[in-house]
């Protein structure tokens, strides 16, 4: 990079990446729990993708039964600490809380869930689970992200031997590598992995399916297989200058930031992020917190078309990120290093299909934004390489097709869940898929 942002002191990095939502104290947690109305037909529970019995776990906090509270949470969600901190609660449970209808602040469900889970892990994760009789059957799980972890934990309780095959050296997928550090730290994910391993799940790391081992061998070795793979490589912009030094993809950049070795992560003085989804916002606010002087988000559509949540958009604005809407990148400018990005203005020409109106460019409206670094955040491709080699498995629009009732693919022995079937949703959706797929696998192997 031509112009690097100056390094900060360790204290400055820690301050910049401090948690957005600090934990409750025992007193404030109890006071918040007592505010809950314990609604009979709780809309918060209905809006949680894992259907945690929210009034029940909150009630247990109010009566100082913190272990019981954690048990209620874990019964529905195996990665509940990560979800408590990283879930978009504003559009899920807290968004559905009845207090919103009264014009009052909703119950802080995420922070209360975090309070119960922090207490559980602080007390060395006691074994509070009931195991079924051993079934002498094994299940292979590909990918140790939230879907794979949830599936493995549930199958272990159901009596199966489970091996997870993970390409990375440190397991956890998105939970370990992809969530902004001001939401969750890597340590949170590692605590959940330690708990799941303590149930008997084996995790083999550094195993690249399709390279180190063939998917056929895994399918042959086990009685059933669960695909919990995330998405693959970042999509390319396919514009001139993409090969210049200083062009990065958001996933790699976020992974580096997640290492928490902030001093060693290179960031430009002026950074342009391409795309306006939640990943773009993460990359933008992380670049700013690493010391970038100015960060821009460039998006070819308008605000109404952004896939980022409103609260993420607000966070970016609070971090003084500047937005260029209706601006399409045309060329990355520079000789060897990035020196700028040339964009062209766009306008809407028709409503088009569903939520993707058609755009056209406005002739002679090109402009250049001087930047030192470009981060591409325009989505990811799926792992078609080894998925395509699984007999009878069907793909549609880059996603694995499953029977929504039991998560079984076209290959009866293979099940799938999480990002590879939904194209990239929340951690909590993957956790639910993994748990439900475990029951689909149990039903399949019991017949």
Residues β-bridged to residue 192: none
Residues β-bridged to residue 268: 4
Q: How far is the CB of 106 from ligand SF4 (least distance, A)?
A: 6
Q: How far is the CB of 368 from ligand SF4 (least distance, A)?
A: 50
Using the Cα atoms of residue 6, residue 7, residue 9 and residue 11 in order, give the sign of their dihedral: positive
> Among residues 95 and 370, whose Cβ is nearest to ligand SF4?
95
What is d(CA 150, CA 192) in angstroms, rounded to the nearest whole number?
A: 10
Q: How far is the CB of 116 from ligand SF4 (least distance, A)?
A: 14
What is d(CA 205, CA 244) in angstroms, rounded to the nearest whole number?
A: 33
> Among residues 96 and 284, whose Cβ is nearest to ligand SF4?
96
Length of the chain: 447
Residue 158's contacts (CB-CB under 8 Å, 6 or more residues apart) are: 132, 135, 438, 439, 442
Which H or E run includes 272?
Answer: strand 270-274
**Nearest in space to 54 (alpha carbons), one of 64, 40, 154:** 40
DSSP-assigned letters across all residues of 374-409 = EEE-S-B---HHHHTTSTT--EETTEE---TTT-B-
> Among residues 32 and 166, whose Cβ is nearest to ligand SF4?
32
Strands 327-333 and 414-416: unpaired
What is d(CA 217, CA 207) in angstroms, rounded to the nearest whole number?
A: 13
Strands 327-333 and 340-353: antiparallel
> Among residues 49 and 434, whose Cβ is nearest to ligand SF4?
49
> Among residues 10 and 37, whose Cβ is nearest to ligand SF4?
37
Q: How far is the CB of 425 from ligand SF4 (least distance, A)?
A: 22
Q: How far is the CB of 212 from ligand SF4 (least distance, A)?
A: 46
83, 427 Cβ separation under 8 angstroms:
yes
Q: How far is the CB of 443 from ligand SF4 (least distance, A)?
A: 32
Q: Which residues here bind ligand SF4, judged by CB under 6 A?
A: 36-39, 42-44, 54-55, 97-99, 107, 109
Instruction: Take residue 70 and report the two structure tokens written for it.
Output: 């954690």
What is d(CA 287, CA 317) in angstroms, rounded to the nearest whole number?
A: 14
Q: How far is the CB of 112 from ligand SF4 (least distance, A)?
A: 9
> Among residues 16 and 42, whose Cβ is nearest to ligand SF4?
42
Q: How far is the CB of 36 from ligand SF4 (least distance, A)?
A: 4
C-alpha separations of 290 from 298, 373, 374, 402 in Å:
20, 13, 15, 41
Q: How far is the CB of 43 from ligand SF4 (least distance, A)?
A: 5
> Among residues 38 and 131, whose Cβ is nearest to ligand SF4?
38
> Among residues 61 and 445, whose Cβ is nearest to ligand SF4?
61
> Among residues 49 and 230, whose Cβ is nearest to ligand SF4?
49
C-alpha separations of 427 from 150, 171, 367 in Å:
11, 15, 38
């Amino acid at each position: 990079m031509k112009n690097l942002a100056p390094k900060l002191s360790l204290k400055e990095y820690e301050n910049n990446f401090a948690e957005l939502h600090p934990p409750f104290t025992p007193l404030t947690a109890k006071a918040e729990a007592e505010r809950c109305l314990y609604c009979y037909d709780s809309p918060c529970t209905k809006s949680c993708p894992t259907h945690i019995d929210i009034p029940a776990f909150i009630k247990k906090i109010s009566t100082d039964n913190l272990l019981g509270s954690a048990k209620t949470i874990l019964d529905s969600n195996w990665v509940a600490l990560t979800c408590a901190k990283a879930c978009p609660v504003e559009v899920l449970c807290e968004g559905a809380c009845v207090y919103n209808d009264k014009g009052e602040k909703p119950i802080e469900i995420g922070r209360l869930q975090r309070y119960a889970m922090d207490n559980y892990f602080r007390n060395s994760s006691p074994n509070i689970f009931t195991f079924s009789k051993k079934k002498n059957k094994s299940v292979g799980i590909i990918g140790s992200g939230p879907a794979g972890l949830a599936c493995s934990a549930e199958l272990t309780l159901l009596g199966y031997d489970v091996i997870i095959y993970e390409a990375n050296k440190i397991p956890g997928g998105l939970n370990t590598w992809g969530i902004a550090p001001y939401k969750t730290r890597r340590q949170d994910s590692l605590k959940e992995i330690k708990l799941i391993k303590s149930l008997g799940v084996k995790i083999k790391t550094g195993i690249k399916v399709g390279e180190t081992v063939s998917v056929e061998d895994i399918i042959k070795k086990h009685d059933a297989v669960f695909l919990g793979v995330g998405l693959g490589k970042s999509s390319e912009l396919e514009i001139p200058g993409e090969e210049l030094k200083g062009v990065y993809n958001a996933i790699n950049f976020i992974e580096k930031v997640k290492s928490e070795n902030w001093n060693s992560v290179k960031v430009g003085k002026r950074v342009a992020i391409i795309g306006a989804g939640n990943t773009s916002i993460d990359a933008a606010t992380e670049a700013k917190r690493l010391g970038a002087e100015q960060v821009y988000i460039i998006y070819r559509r308008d605000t109404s078309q952004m896939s980022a949540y409103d609260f993420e958009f607000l966070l970016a604005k609070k971090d003084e990120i500047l937005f260029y809407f209706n601006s399409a990148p045309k060329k990355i400018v520079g000789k060897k290093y990035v020196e700028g990005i040339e964009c062209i203005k766009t306008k809407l020409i028709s409503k088009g299909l569903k939520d993707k109106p058609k755009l056209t460019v406005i002739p002679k409206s090109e402009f250049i934004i001087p930047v030192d670094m470009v981060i591409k955040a325009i989505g990811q491709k799926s792992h078609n390489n080894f998925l395509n080699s699984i007999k009878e498995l069907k793909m549609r629009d880059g996603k694995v097709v499953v029977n929504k009732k039991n998560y079984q693919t076209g290959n009866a022995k293979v099940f799938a869940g999480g990002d590879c079937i939904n194209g990239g949703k929340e951690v909590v959706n993957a956790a639910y898929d993994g748990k439900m797929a475990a029951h689909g696998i149990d039903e399949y192997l019991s017949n």
